[in-house]
Structure 1
Amino acid sequence: MTTASRVPQPYQGGGGANLADILERVLDKGIIIAGDIRINLLDIELVTIKLRLIVASVDKAKEMGIDWWEDDPSLSSGARRKELARENAELRRRLDELEEPRTQGGTG
């Protein structure tokens, strides 16, 4: 007569969730890891480092209101074009200010 064993089976590569399934779940739901590191010397705080890590899909991040990469010129071509257009407009304004005394002063 045999009885069912309640001892967990060792991990076998063929069964269970694979890495792609786990990654899909994490990206779908999102995961946040947060922590602070503080270095004190004689009750005097010398350094504080705040670490925040969010792992999520782009769609999930946008749902959470996180979209900073869209405005970062080093990460977004659209943001880069906006930054260049803004810089170009500023340079044109400054050039117009520099040329303005010449056109108003005449030959006088």
Structure 2
Amino acid sequence: MKSSFFRALPVVAALAFVAAPLHAQQAAHDHAAHGATAQAAGQAAAQPIWVAGEVRKVDARAGTVTIRHERIPNLDMDAMTMVFKAKPPALLDGLKPGDKLRFTAAMADSELVVTAIER
């Protein structure tokens, strides 16, 4: 019995020796793919999400705009009408009720803010 074990030992060692680099290559490949996925996710997160809307009210003094908007995916917010703070306030220059626009929104300091506007 011992002789069978000792005869099989070099074969098992050889297989382990051959398999180790393959495993290392697979692990490196998997890790590289994970990095690419994480990088793509980071780039996706960095890309602004533009949402269509219509201006309902502008309050330049308060620095706010009321917008009827479609769903805002990055905020997990359904379509509705709501007030946003404009950051920077200059985004409100020239806006008036009825204007159609595209905008980006985010949470900043626990308040909803419009960060960019395209008419």
TM-score (norm: length of structure 1)? 0.30
Higher strand share: 2
Q: Which structure's relative contact order is higher, taking Cα pairs within 8 Å and 6+ residues apart?
A: 2
